[in-house]
Structure 1
Amino acid sequence: MANDTLLLLALAHIIGDDALRERFLALTGFDGATLRARAGEPDVLQAVAAFLAGHEPDLVAVAAALGVEPGALCARS
Protein backbone atom coordinates (compact mmCIF):
# COMPACT_ATOMS: atom_id res chain seq x y z
CA MET A 1 0.00 0.00 0.00
CA ALA A 2 1.36 3.43 -0.91
CA ASN A 3 2.43 5.47 2.09
CA ASP A 4 0.15 8.41 1.22
CA THR A 5 -2.83 6.08 1.00
CA LEU A 6 -1.91 4.52 4.33
CA LEU A 7 -1.66 7.94 5.96
CA LEU A 8 -5.04 8.92 4.51
CA LEU A 9 -6.51 5.79 6.07
CA ALA A 10 -4.82 6.72 9.35
CA LEU A 11 -6.31 10.21 9.12
CA ALA A 12 -9.76 8.72 8.58
CA HIS A 13 -9.27 6.55 11.65
CA ILE A 14 -8.09 9.51 13.72
CA ILE A 15 -11.04 11.64 12.65
CA GLY A 16 -13.43 8.80 13.45
CA ASP A 17 -12.25 8.57 17.06
CA ASP A 18 -13.46 11.44 19.28
CA ALA A 19 -10.42 11.57 21.57
CA LEU A 20 -7.85 11.20 18.79
CA ARG A 21 -9.65 13.75 16.62
CA GLU A 22 -9.75 16.40 19.33
CA ARG A 23 -6.07 15.95 20.17
CA PHE A 24 -5.04 15.89 16.50
CA LEU A 25 -6.95 19.10 15.78
CA ALA A 26 -5.57 20.79 18.90
CA LEU A 27 -1.97 19.81 18.20
CA THR A 28 -1.95 20.54 14.48
CA GLY A 29 -4.13 23.64 14.38
CA PHE A 30 -6.15 22.17 11.53
CA ASP A 31 -9.93 22.35 11.56
CA GLY A 32 -12.53 20.13 9.93
CA ALA A 33 -12.94 22.32 6.86
CA THR A 34 -9.20 22.42 6.25
CA LEU A 35 -8.91 18.65 6.55
CA ARG A 36 -11.79 18.08 4.14
CA ALA A 37 -10.22 20.43 1.60
CA ARG A 38 -6.59 19.39 1.97
CA ALA A 39 -6.56 15.82 3.33
CA GLY A 40 -4.18 14.44 0.70
CA GLU A 41 -1.71 17.31 0.66
CA PRO A 42 1.86 16.61 1.81
CA ASP A 43 1.76 18.88 4.87
CA VAL A 44 -1.42 17.26 6.17
CA LEU A 45 -0.04 13.75 5.63
CA GLN A 46 3.20 14.77 7.34
CA ALA A 47 1.15 16.07 10.27
CA VAL A 48 -0.60 12.69 10.53
CA ALA A 49 2.75 10.86 10.55
CA ALA A 50 4.22 13.26 13.12
CA PHE A 51 1.11 13.05 15.31
CA LEU A 52 1.30 9.27 15.43
CA ALA A 53 5.08 9.20 15.87
CA GLY A 54 4.72 11.56 18.83
CA HIS A 55 2.59 9.21 20.95
CA GLU A 56 3.37 5.50 20.79
CA PRO A 57 0.07 4.20 22.24
CA ASP A 58 -1.86 6.00 19.48
CA LEU A 59 0.60 4.82 16.86
CA VAL A 60 0.22 1.20 17.95
CA ALA A 61 -3.57 1.44 18.17
CA VAL A 62 -3.99 3.01 14.73
CA ALA A 63 -1.53 0.57 13.17
CA ALA A 64 -3.45 -2.35 14.69
CA ALA A 65 -6.75 -0.94 13.44
CA LEU A 66 -5.31 -0.66 9.92
CA GLY A 67 -3.51 -4.01 10.08
CA VAL A 68 -0.04 -2.60 9.42
CA GLU A 69 3.26 -2.33 11.25
CA PRO A 70 3.58 0.87 13.32
CA GLY A 71 6.70 1.96 11.45
CA ALA A 72 4.74 2.15 8.22
CA LEU A 73 2.78 5.08 9.64
CA CYS A 74 5.78 7.14 10.69
CA ALA A 75 7.73 7.26 7.47
CA ARG A 76 6.91 9.66 4.66
CA SER A 77 8.28 8.72 1.27
Structure 2
Amino acid sequence: MRPENANGKQDSGPQDATLALMALGWTLSDGSRADRLLALTGLDADALRAGIDNPVVLAAVLAFLADHEPDLIACADAIGSTPAALIAAQERLARDGWGR
Protein backbone atom coordinates (compact mmCIF):
# COMPACT_ATOMS: atom_id res chain seq x y z
CA MET A 1 0.00 0.00 0.00
CA ARG A 2 1.30 3.46 -0.86
CA PRO A 3 1.51 6.06 1.89
CA GLU A 4 -1.24 8.63 1.85
CA ASN A 5 -0.47 12.32 1.64
CA ALA A 6 -2.10 15.02 3.73
CA ASN A 7 -5.19 14.95 1.49
CA GLY A 8 -5.70 11.24 2.09
CA LYS A 9 -4.64 10.38 -1.47
CA GLN A 10 -1.93 7.92 -2.36
CA ASP A 11 1.35 9.39 -3.54
CA SER A 12 2.99 8.09 -6.66
CA GLY A 13 5.93 5.93 -5.80
CA PRO A 14 8.98 4.46 -7.42
CA GLN A 15 6.86 1.75 -9.01
CA ASP A 16 4.91 4.38 -10.99
CA ALA A 17 8.12 5.94 -12.26
CA THR A 18 9.49 2.50 -13.07
CA LEU A 19 6.38 1.62 -15.07
CA ALA A 20 6.61 4.91 -16.93
CA LEU A 21 10.30 4.39 -17.71
CA MET A 22 9.61 0.88 -18.95
CA ALA A 23 6.78 2.26 -21.08
CA LEU A 24 9.09 4.95 -22.42
CA GLY A 25 11.66 2.33 -23.39
CA TRP A 26 8.98 0.33 -25.17
CA THR A 27 7.72 3.45 -26.94
CA LEU A 28 11.18 4.48 -28.10
CA SER A 29 11.95 0.99 -29.41
CA ASP A 30 9.91 1.78 -32.53
CA GLY A 31 11.01 4.77 -34.61
CA SER A 32 7.60 5.79 -35.89
CA ARG A 33 6.03 5.45 -32.44
CA ALA A 34 8.90 7.49 -30.95
CA ASP A 35 8.38 10.21 -33.57
CA ARG A 36 4.65 10.23 -32.78
CA LEU A 37 5.40 10.57 -29.04
CA LEU A 38 7.57 13.61 -29.66
CA ALA A 39 5.11 15.17 -32.09
CA LEU A 40 2.02 14.69 -29.94
CA THR A 41 3.51 15.55 -26.55
CA GLY A 42 5.46 18.58 -27.75
CA LEU A 43 8.59 17.16 -26.16
CA ASP A 44 11.86 17.02 -28.00
CA ALA A 45 14.74 14.67 -27.32
CA ASP A 46 16.51 17.19 -25.06
CA ALA A 47 13.38 17.86 -23.00
CA LEU A 48 12.77 14.14 -22.68
CA ARG A 49 16.33 13.54 -21.45
CA ALA A 50 16.18 16.49 -19.04
CA GLY A 51 12.78 15.48 -17.69
CA ILE A 52 13.37 11.78 -17.25
CA ASP A 53 12.97 12.14 -13.46
CA ASN A 54 10.06 14.59 -13.69
CA PRO A 55 6.66 13.04 -12.84
CA VAL A 56 4.92 15.36 -15.33
CA VAL A 57 7.11 14.14 -18.20
CA LEU A 58 6.63 10.51 -17.17
CA ALA A 59 2.88 11.09 -16.93
CA ALA A 60 2.94 12.56 -20.46
CA VAL A 61 4.52 9.36 -21.77
CA LEU A 62 1.79 7.27 -20.17
CA ALA A 63 -0.92 9.68 -21.34
CA PHE A 64 0.42 9.31 -24.89
CA LEU A 65 -0.09 5.56 -24.62
CA ALA A 66 -3.49 5.95 -22.99
CA ASP A 67 -4.65 8.02 -25.94
CA HIS A 68 -4.04 5.11 -28.34
CA GLU A 69 -5.51 1.94 -26.88
CA PRO A 70 -3.69 -0.52 -29.18
CA ASP A 71 -0.34 0.89 -28.03
CA LEU A 72 -1.46 0.94 -24.40
CA ILE A 73 -2.41 -2.73 -24.54
CA ALA A 74 0.71 -3.75 -26.47
CA CYS A 75 2.97 -1.85 -24.09
CA ALA A 76 1.33 -3.28 -20.99
CA ASP A 77 1.73 -6.77 -22.39
CA ALA A 78 5.37 -6.18 -23.37
CA ILE A 79 6.40 -4.84 -19.96
CA GLY A 80 4.39 -7.33 -17.91
CA SER A 81 1.81 -4.87 -16.65
CA THR A 82 -1.83 -4.10 -17.32
CA PRO A 83 -3.44 -1.16 -19.10
CA ALA A 84 -5.24 -0.27 -15.86
CA ALA A 85 -1.95 -0.15 -13.94
CA LEU A 86 -0.43 2.16 -16.56
CA ILE A 87 -3.45 4.48 -16.43
CA ALA A 88 -3.40 4.56 -12.62
CA ALA A 89 0.34 5.33 -12.63
CA GLN A 90 -0.24 8.12 -15.16
CA GLU A 91 -2.94 9.67 -12.99
CA ARG A 92 -0.80 9.57 -9.83
CA LEU A 93 2.30 10.90 -11.59
CA ALA A 94 0.33 13.75 -13.17
CA ARG A 95 -1.35 14.67 -9.90
CA ASP A 96 1.83 14.52 -7.85
CA GLY A 97 3.95 16.19 -10.53
CA TRP A 98 1.72 19.23 -10.77
CA GLY A 99 1.74 19.51 -6.98
CA ARG A 100 5.54 19.87 -6.84
Q: TM-score of the superposition, structure 2-length normalised?
A: 0.71
Which runs of 4 or more aligned residues in structure 1 lie more than 2 Å from their structure 2 counterparts after TM superposition? none
Structure scoring higher RCO (CA < 8 A, sep ≥ 6) equals: 1
Cross-structure match for 1:69: 82
Larger Rg: 2
Out of 39-48 and 22-31, give the one that drifted further.
39-48
CA drift of 1:62 comes to 0.6
Q: Following the alignment from structure 1 to structure 2, what is the Cα–Cα distance between the partners of residues 40 and 23?
A: 21
What is the Cα deviation at residue 6 of structure 1? 0.5
Amino acid at match of 1:46: A
8 Å contact 1:49–1:75 — kept in the other structure? no
SS of aligned partner of 1:61: helix
Q: Which residue of 2 aligns with 1:32?
A: 45
CA RMSD of aligned residues (A): 1.3
| Residue 48 (structure 1) aligned with residue 61 (structure 2) | yes
Residue 48 of structure 1 deviates from its aligned partner by: 1.2
Runs of 5+ unmatched residues, structure 2: 1-13, 93-100
More helix as a share of residues: 1
Distance in structure 1 (CA, Å) of the matches to 2:76 and 2:32 = 16
